[in-house]
Amino acid sequence: MSIVPVRSQPSDRSEQTTQLLFGDSYQVLDHSPDKKWLYIENDFDAYRGWIDAGQFRPVSERYRQDLLAEPHPLSGDLVACLNWGKRHFPILLGSVLPFYQDDRIRMEEEIIRVKLETPPTLQIRLMDAARKYWLAPYQWGGKSPFGLDCSGFIQQVFRMAACSLPRDAYQQAEKGEAVPSVAQSRVADLAFFAREGRIVHVGLILDDLSWQHYHPDLDLQAHERPIMHALDQVRVDKLDKEGIWHLGRKQYTHHLLTIRRLKEEFF
């Protein structure tokens, strides 16, 4: 399936805590008494939750282990169509392309045609991925370009750059090395924000050229950086030593706690 909601409890009314996209693998740990819901653990980030049993698509354990044994690229198109026999199957930005080679992927024994291009450096890959989510609406627990939260946005951007990050912001803040100040930050650094000592938000620091693209009529001072983050939508605002200055509301919305730098050797 293109997208599967993962919920905190076995009910459609329960909170969506994350999502599975095409190509994500997981283990089934348990089921509800009526067997309508499955309790699963995502193989990518070990995140657990409940999915509708009707949306479960089994694969062999051998295929799953082969899948986990090597990295796989992700789709870079907002919506792409796989040529699956006589079907045209849509997949979303950030979906896993299992065993991609020569414009083909493999699902069990089926070979499916697809095309993918990968930018060279980590920073370029991150910026390219982040821009594709611009203006995507905010959705708690979401991970797709049609709705995602702040940490889901960051996780997917890094995943598209072939880098693995945990699902929640407080977990992501444990990765990489500390950057002393905003003035010393660089493109692709992560900024984390706290309320009452608890990390509640994360954003991606952009380059100055990105700022000119999103806000050509506004100046950026030497002590400020452009930051892309998911609030009401994926947007670009100003970051300084105090936090995020929301350009629409003309106020600080988040107070800066720390900045982390993640290099390719960390992954």
Q: Which amino acid is residue 211, in one-letter code?
A: W
d(CA 183, CA 41): 40
Q: What is the bridge-based pairing of β-strands 143-144 and 147-148?
A: antiparallel
Q: Which pTM value belongs to this model?
A: 0.77
105 or 208, higher pLDDT:
105
Q: What is the pLDDT of residue 209?
A: 76
d(CA 40, CA 246): 37
Where residue 250 falls (left for φ over 0; alpha for ψ -120 to 50; beta otherwise) is left
Q: What is the pLDDT of residue 177?
A: 96
Please give the mean pLDDT across all residues of the chain. Answer: 91
First to last CA, the chain: 28
- Which segments of 60-165 are extended strands (E)? 79-84, 87-92, 104-107, 110-113, 143-144, 147-148
Q: For a pLDDT cut of 90, what percent of the chain falls above it?
A: 72
- The average pLDDT across 253-262 equals 97
